[in-house]
């Protein structure tokens, strides 16, 4: 069944961590200070991170998994 | 599932207090060096942007005013503003101005220039700020640095405030020179692993 997941454009991400703070599932980490990483297993596709991202580089995408 | 607030979620109080203190005694501006050295030390030692992610009081202040109080249009930032050219260009410009300020401080320390009791907003507008100067126990250069550093902090706050209103609350984070610099340090430290991710 298709699911909605948040994805980060890692080239444009500024690694500020705004997304991490609003994620209700703690699915986002900035492991090495370079870009945000979303754990697709935890992401529920709520879109809070996409709304918060100051650079608007997070999008919601439909995945098959 | 709302995340429980931690002690560092209140660091916006520190940022706000810092700005207010600068109106009463300019020498408090020296405290701003913490916002300069802590992120660099964290990125160099730990290879992370934990400062931006957790401890940045200014970011929290923008989140609060723009987010909770709603003083933001919450629109997307223009593409050019998040481009690498602009971010790196702004970093270079910001540091060029910073070193110019250090040079002026040096001249006052050396006694070749008189203490200038003004705060320079946006690197251009000289605001009289003599009321916040009550003398210094050391060289007037100490005060000159304080005026210069407070100018840097006030200018970046004003810029952040304007972009907070026009775009998203924490738009400043996109082009914040400290953020760009610490991200570059992290990139340099983790260059091999980040390449693997792509």
Vertex B54, ends A61 and B98: CA angle to 5°? 105
**Is B179 in CB contact (< 8 Å) with chain A?**
yes
**What is the predicted pLDDT for the residue at B112?**
94
Residue B154 in domain: yes
**Domains of chain A: total:** 1
The answer to whether residue B195 sits within a structural domain is no
| Structural domain range at position A28 | 3-63
* Residue B19 resides in a domain: yes
Interface check for B31 against chain A (CB to CB < 8 A): the answer is no
Q: Residue A10's pLDDT is what?
A: 93
**B8 in reach of chain A (CB within 8 A):** no
Is position B194 within any domain? no
Min distance A1 CA to chain B CA atoms (Å)? 25
Query: Is residue B110 situated within a structural domain?
Result: yes
CB proximity B194 to A under 8 Å: yes
Asked if B143 and B133 touch (Cβ cutoff 8 Å), the reply is yes
Answer yes or no: are the C-beta atoms of A57 and A3 closer than 8 Å: no
Cβ-Cβ contacts under 8 Å, A15 against chain B: 49, 52-53, 179, 183, 186
Residue ranges making up the domain that contains B62: 7-189
Q: Tell me the two tokens of residue B171.
A: 């738009």
What CA–CA distance (Å, rounded) separates B102 from A59?
42
Write out pLDDT tens, residues A5-45: 999 999 999 999 999 999 999 999 999 999 999 999 999 99
Domain total in chain B? 1
Q: Say yes or no for a CB contact (<8 Å) between A16 and B54.
A: no
Total residue length of chain B: 198
CATH assignment at residue A58: 3.30.70.20
ipTM, two decimals: 0.92
Tokens of B69: 């109080």
Q: Name the minimum distance, in Å, from the CA of B183 to any CA of chain A.
A: 6
Beta strands in B122-172 (DSSP E): 125-128
Question: 3-state DSSP call for residue A5?
Answer: strand
Is there a domain that residue B198 lies in?
no
| pLDDT tens digit at each of 198 positions of chain B | 556 889 999 999 999 999 999 999 999 999 999 999 999 999 999 999 999 999 999 999 999 999 999 999 999 999 999 999 999 999 999 999 999 999 999 999 999 999 999 999 999 999 999 999 998 888 899 999 999 999 999 999 999 999 999 999 999 999 999 999 999 999 999 875 555 555
CA-nearest of B24, B22, B6, B16 to B58 is B16
Q: Is residue B196 assigned to a domain?
A: no
Chain B environment of A24 (Cβ under 8 Å): 1-2
Within an 8 Å CB–CB cutoff, is residue A27 touching chain B?
Answer: no
In this predicted structure, the answer to whether residue A65 has a pLDDT above a threshold of 70 is no
Chain A residues close to B179, C-beta within 8 Å: 14-16
User: How buried is B183 (Cβ within 10 angstroms: 0-12 exposed, 13-18 middle, 19+ buried)?
Assistant: buried
CB contact under 8 A, A30 and B48: yes
Residue B181 touches partner A, C-beta closer than 8 Å: no
- B197 in any annotated domain: no
Residue B30's alpha-carbon distances to A51, B25, B147, in angstroms, are: 36, 11, 9
């Amino acid at each position: 069944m298709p699911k909605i997941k948040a994805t980060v454009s890692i080239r444009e991400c500024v690694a500020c961590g705004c997304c991490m703070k609003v994620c209700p599932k703690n699915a986002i980490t900035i492991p090495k200070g370079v870009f945000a990483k979303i754990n697709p297993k935890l992401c529920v596709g709520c879109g809070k991170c996409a709304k918060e991202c100051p650079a608007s580089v997070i999008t919601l995408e439909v995945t098959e998994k | 599932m709302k995340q429980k607030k931690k002690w560092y979620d209140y660091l916006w109080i520190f940022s706000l207090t810092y700005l207010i203190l600068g109106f009463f005694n300019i020498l408090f501006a020296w405290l701003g060096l913490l916002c300069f050295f802590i992120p660099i030390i964290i990125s160099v030692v730990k290879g992370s942007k934990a400062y931006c992610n957790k401890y940045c009081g200014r970011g929290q202040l923008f989140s609060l005013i723009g987010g909770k109080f709603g003083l933001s249009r919450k629109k997307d930032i223009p593409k050019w503003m998040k481009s690498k050219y602009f971010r790196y260009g702004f970093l270079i410009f910001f540091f060029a101005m910073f070193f110019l300020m250090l040079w002026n401080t040096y001249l006052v320390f050396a006694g070749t220039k008189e203490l200038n009791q003004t705060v320079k907003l946006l690197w251009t507008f000289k605001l009289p700020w003599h009321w916040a100067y009550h003398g210094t126990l050391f060289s007037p250069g100490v005060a000159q640095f304080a005026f210069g550093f407070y100018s840097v902090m006030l200018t970046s706050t004003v810029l952040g405030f304007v972009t907070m209103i026009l775009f998203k609350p924490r738009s400043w984070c996109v082009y914040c020179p400290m953020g760009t610099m610490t991200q570059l340090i992290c990139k340099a430290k983790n260059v091999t692993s980040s390449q693997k991710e792509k």
